[in-house]
Structure 1
Amino acid sequence: MPSHDRGQRASEAEKTQARQVSLRRIGRLFGPYRWPLAVVTLIIVASSIIAMASPFLLRAVIDHALPQQDLRLLVWLVIGMIGVAAATSALGVVQTWISTAVGQKVMHRLRTSVFSHLHRQSVGFFTRTRTGEVQSRITNDIGGMETVVTTTATSIASNLTTTIATIAAMVALSWQLSMVSLIVLPPSIWLTRRVARMRRAITDQRQRELADLNVTIEEGLSVSGAQLSKTLSTGAALVDRFTASSRRLIDLELRSELAGRWRMASMSIIFAAIPAVIYLSAGLPFSRGVLSIGTLVAFTALQGGLFRPLMGLLNVGVTLISSLALFQRIFEYLDLPVEVDDPATPVTLDRVEGHLRLEDVSFTYPGSEVPAVSGVSLDVPAGTSLALVGETGSGKSTLAALIARLYDPTVGRVTIDGVDVRDLRLADLAGIVGVVSQETYLLHTTIRENLRYAKPSATDAELEAAARAAQIHDVIVDLPEGYDTLVGSRGHRFSGGEKQRIAIARTLLRDPKILVLDEATSALDTSTERAVQQAFDQLARGRTTVTIAHRLSTIRNADQIVVVDRGRVLESGTHDSLVDSAGRYAALAA
């Protein structure tokens, strides 16, 4: 057998297996709501059975009440028809209410599950994932699944029950005519399977294109993206890229819609022709004297009513199969392993001293073959200060990220008071280690809420104390709205130094025992840097501090200074001892 054919069959087998797994997982989404769905199913069955009384009432009107001019019987039959319509309508309202509530709860659980699972992912996941891709999965993919989740179960039950009840009623009226009518089922099922396969492939392409469109929007219309495009004059290229992506979406949407229209057109023609065939059958010699006019009219009405639930049932199959592409994209995210997670049996530090150690730590970023950090051992006693210096890319920020457990070491361990940070709850570790990085991120809300993001229970007095310590309080109170000033998207309303000082205040509000400053004063002017450094010196008392800086003037008084080069410790000591050794630090300080 040619290898191409073997590969193609293997691919088809994998798709079939993926489909089966997805269908089981879709079913499990409804597991917690078995009883409400059971009630909905009972309502649907009852409604379908009650509705089947209508053709028999119609037959009695035509064959008995009208020919015999029995007014009393006619009145009761008409009342029965109205009662059937009222009962089915009332049951339909209750069914819709329960099924919609269940569907929305399933959607809520799915959205929150995806969001919470992605929130647990390490920083590495977000650096590997395109900007806008995550938002597209949560909004476009889950949004596209809403109709399937909210209506699929009830639609299957309703249409299946109605179809079975209608076929049973048709057989009860005339099994001969039923055989003629049901000849439409085999071609219907065959056409439906073809359409389902086509739509599934198109749906997968469409969602990928929507993700690309979302990425273009995020990159082109964010504050940073807009500034970049204006300074580089790339606006026309961005518009062309967006236009091309949108044009491809038009084609995919048309293909998705038209994939089922020709099927619907074919089935409509077939169903429209069947009543004519039924009338022809009723006039053939074998049917003469067998069928009454009422039976023929009632049967034709039933046959016409069979089209809607039968096509609805087939359409649900098409929608469900085509939506598997959406479910698989969501399940792909839900199945992502959590690289940095809470331990199974966490350790609690009753009293944090802040003794920090790195023991033979090595780390390699995913996808890289060169270690970012290799064999680093550091000992920072509680309440002391450590400064990391070195050229760009030497591994300083990676060490800071390992201390805060944004990543886990490939080899070795990081400990606080002798406890491996991997044995601490992430929330507890975040309360122990505070990080101020060179890349500040402020939320699009007020200054007050940005500060309270670190400590929701903080009082106004605590906010002001942290702002004063970061030398930003005076700037804030001079604003027209003070602490209630809106910072704007990503804080672009403020200068780099002001944003950084707000970020410093936000971290200090948590009062961490270990403070990691990754180029925390890089955006400050000389006078402001001096003031903030004085604040840091005051705050560093009784606190373990790890500082990463290019400006050696800010770390001259550190208890120990470590020079890092290509992920390794090159030399360490105090400022004076390193200068006297005439090594790399002395060259940097010259």
Structure 2
Amino acid sequence: MTAAATARVTGHVSMTGWLLAFGRPVRWPLAISALCRVVGLTAGIALLGYAAHAVVTAATTGGGAPWTVFGVLVGLAAIKGLFQYLEHYTGHWVAFRALAMLRVFFYERLAVLAPAVTVQRRTGDLLARVTRDIDRLEVFFAHSVVPAVTAVIVPVGVLCYLAAEVDPAVALVTAPFLLLLGAVIPFAGRRTTQRAEGQTVRLGGVMSAHLTDTVGGLREITAYGAENRRRTDLARLDAASGAQHRIVARWASIRAGSTRAAQAGVLIVIVAVGTALGLDSASVAVAVAVTVATFPALEAVDGFAALLGSTRTSLDRVRAIAEEEPAAPEPAPDTVWIPGDGPPEICFHNVDFTYPSRDVRPPALTGVDLTIPAGHTVAIVGPTGSGKSTIGALLARIWDPTAGAVTWDGADMRRIPSAELRRRVTVIDQQPFLLHGTVADNLRLADPAATDEQLWRALHIADLADTVRVLPDGLQTHVGERGAALSGGQCQRLAIARAVVHGGQLLVIDEGTSQLDESTERRVLGRLADAIGDCTVLWITHRHTTLGICDAVLEIDEGRVSAYKAG
């Protein structure tokens, strides 16, 4: 066996082992499904074999009790139907349960990695992993494990029956064909098809990301006349995917033709050998019938083998996310520190930071030392790309410093559990994300228990209450996908209202009023300054309007603190 072949086998074994270990909670229903399939297939084999024996016996001797034969056939058919139903019921219960487990598992891992993971990867590709790739893993439980097990048990049982009840020679000549049908033909060309299926999965992720970008940026694409370019790019991706699909289809046709030829061949050989051995017609008919009835168990192997490549690729894509180390890991249990309830003093101690994807570029922050006193509002100003937003990201623990430390009341923020930090830190971004829901839905994202009165108060502070009141549905007005039904300024004010609902001890505002006109901004700033009360605030801004409510102004340039001015 070549090194490449060994690697493929090892990869398939690793994949199967991981999925079976993951599916441990459903192993007993899976075993029941396999048992039901074995019983159902055995009943089907017995049904066809007994029917063949009865027909040939009646034709050659005229004997046999028709009602007895009818009763046996009905009984076998009932057993087959019952156990097929039980197999499908338990099998799909396992599949859907496994699907739910996989989706929850992936979401929990995404939650741990977020929001850094969404910065490093395209949203469309992540969406493809959580939908298409996980759906392929579900098929492993629904259509792979049980058929693979029965494809071994049932043919072995049939060969034992042929050897014991018909003739050992018949079993001997049948065995190579069953081996060919179950272990050779289904895997013919698999190296090529698995490579093609892997490319198909990868291209599917790229196409999903392309379509997500296209739909999300349709306004800009149309405005710049880029429709044809986007269409051409999609057509190129689709053509590449189609070429891989044709490779898979070509080999599928070859295997299908080879399977039919082998099936016909084994039946011809059984009849020839049975005749040469002088077996009676009933025995030959039974041997042919039970062999034909075994074909469905073997044909399932082709489906199982066809899934190996795409399943392994999908599992690799899912595990690449699931096994990724978080940018801001949870603290070790013996180092956990829970902050008090008051506004924190925030300090940066000789902090360096380089984005993971920018190892060859200059650091975003270098040797930053600063202190934000508890309860103070500090503005950060500086040119674009100077590192202002990076400071905000470190405070929200989207990332951890490459060197140095950020402290909360003297304790390293890496010691604070993420759940505690999220409860205490509120972030308002320049381009806030709004759910495709109502105004109330978006506000209650910050606090599901918030009353309507609290929501209206927050909207008033953000100078959005009057706008929402005149809408026909008020708080139940839908804002559209990503706030498409609102203006840019309204989206920012809704995000400010959401931050007010959330509360917290540390507020980070990153250009959160950049799309407001000056008069609206002044009203919002005045109300917000009164509302946040006893809170430490870091305000990242380009606008001088904001500086009037700040206790100090921090200037940063090229990742370094250049000046610190008291307000």
Give TM class, smaller chain: over 0.9
Q: Runs of 5+ in structure 1 lacking a partner? A: 1-7, 576-590
The code of the aligned residue for 1:181 comes to: T
The code of the aligned residue for 2:20 comes to: G
Indicate whether 1:196 and 2:190 are aligned: yes
C-alpha displacement of 1:528: 0.4
TM score, norm. by length of structure 2? 0.93
2:24, 2:52 → 1: CA distance? 43
Structure with bigger gyration radius = 1
Query: Which shifted more, 272-281 or 430-439?
Result: 272-281
C-alpha displacement of 1:113: 1.1
1:219, 1:292 → 2: CA distance? 70
1:52, 1:131 → 2: CA distance? 50
* Equivalent residues of 1:354, 1:513 under 8 A apart: yes
Indicate whether 1:208 and 2:202 are aligned: yes
3-state SS of paired residue (2:189) = helix
* Equivalent residues of 2:144, 2:303 under 8 A apart: no
1:15, 1:93 → 2: CA distance? 35
1:353-364 alignment, distance < 5 Å = 353-364=343-354
* Equivalent residues of 2:438, 2:477 under 8 A apart: yes
C-alpha displacement of 1:436: 1.1
* Equivalent residues of 1:387, 1:558 under 8 A apart: yes
- Aligned mate of 1:43, from 36, 43, 47: 36
The answer for the alignment partner of 2:385 in structure 1 is 393
1:244, 1:367 → 2: CA distance? 28
2:52, 2:388 → 1: CA distance? 87
- 1:530-577 Cα shifts (integer Å, max 9, x gaps): 1111112213432211111212232145222211111111121224xx
1:144-183 alignment, distance < 5 Å = 144-172=136-164, 173-183=166-176
C-alpha displacement of 1:251: 2.4
The answer for the alignment partner of 1:281 in structure 2 is 273
CA pair 246-423 structure 1, distance change in 2 beyond 3 A: same
2:479, 2:536 → 1: CA distance? 31
2:438, 2:25 → 1: CA distance? 40
Query: Which shifted more, 142-151 or 520-529?
Result: 142-151
1:209-248 alignment, distance < 5 Å = 209-222=203-216, 225-248=217-240
3-state SS of paired residue (2:370) = strand
- Aligned mate of 1:22, from 3, 7, 15: 15
Aligned length in residues: 561
The answer for the alignment partner of 1:325 in structure 2 is 313
The code of the aligned residue for 2:488 comes to: G
Query: Which shifted more, 182-191 or 339-348?
Result: 182-191
3-state SS of paired residue (1:311) = helix
The answer for the alignment partner of 2:495 in structure 1 is 503
Query: Which shifted more, 384-393 or 194-203?
Result: 194-203
TM score, norm. by length of structure 1? 0.89
The answer for the alignment partner of 1:581 in structure 2 is none
Indicate whether 1:565 and 2:552 are aligned: no
* Equivalent residues of 2:45, 2:293 under 8 A apart: no
Indicate whether 1:33 and 2:23 are aligned: no
3-state SS of paired residue (1:328) = helix
The code of the aligned residue for 1:443 comes to: L
C-alpha displacement of 1:62: 5.4
1:137, 1:336 → 2: CA distance? 14
The code of the aligned residue for 1:305 comes to: A
The code of the aligned residue for 1:276 comes to: I
The answer for the alignment partner of 1:578 in structure 2 is none
- Aligned mate of 2:330, from 333, 342, 353: 342
The code of the aligned residue for 2:67 comes to: V
C-alpha displacement of 1:271: 1.7
2:292, 2:43 → 1: CA distance? 18
Identity %: 26
The code of the aligned residue for 1:484 comes to: Q
Kindly report the root-mean-square deviation, in angstroms, between the aligned alpha carbons of the 2 structures.
Answer: 2.3
The code of the aligned residue for 2:342 comes to: V
3-state SS of paired residue (1:120) = helix
1:520, 1:160 → 2: CA distance? 64
Q: Runs of 5+ in structure 2 lacking a partner? A: none
* Equivalent residues of 1:445, 1:486 under 8 A apart: yes
2:263, 2:6 → 1: CA distance? 36
1:541, 1:49 → 2: CA distance? 76
C-alpha displacement of 1:268: 0.7
CA pair 182-373 structure 1, distance change in 2 beyond 3 A: same
C-alpha displacement of 1:424: 1.4
C-alpha displacement of 1:151: 2.0
The answer for the alignment partner of 1:584 in structure 2 is none
* Equivalent residues of 1:62, 1:293 under 8 A apart: no
The code of the aligned residue for 1:537 comes to: A
The answer for the alignment partner of 1:305 in structure 2 is 293
* Equivalent residues of 2:196, 2:244 under 8 A apart: yes
The code of the aligned residue for 2:118 comes to: F
2:535, 2:202 → 1: CA distance? 49
- 1:25-47 Cα shifts (integer Å, max 9, x gaps): 12213211222223233333434
* Equivalent residues of 2:352, 2:367 under 8 A apart: yes
- 1:245-276 Cα shifts (integer Å, max 9, x gaps): 22332222222122122122122123213333
CA pair 112-236 structure 1, distance change in 2 beyond 3 A: same
- Aligned mate of 1:378, from 370, 384, 389: 370
CA pair 25-398 structure 1, distance change in 2 beyond 3 A: same
2:32, 2:344 → 1: CA distance? 58
Indicate whether 1:184 and 2:177 are aligned: yes
C-alpha displacement of 1:55: 5.8
- 1:364-412 Cα shifts (integer Å, max 9, x gaps): 1113241211121222222112111111111111111111111111112
Indicate whether 1:365 and 2:355 are aligned: yes
* Equivalent residues of 1:376, 1:569 under 8 A apart: yes
- 1:481-535 Cα shifts (integer Å, max 9, x gaps): 2211111121122222111111000011111222111112211101101111111
1:397-436 alignment, distance < 5 Å = 397-436=389-428
* Equivalent residues of 1:136, 1:214 under 8 A apart: yes
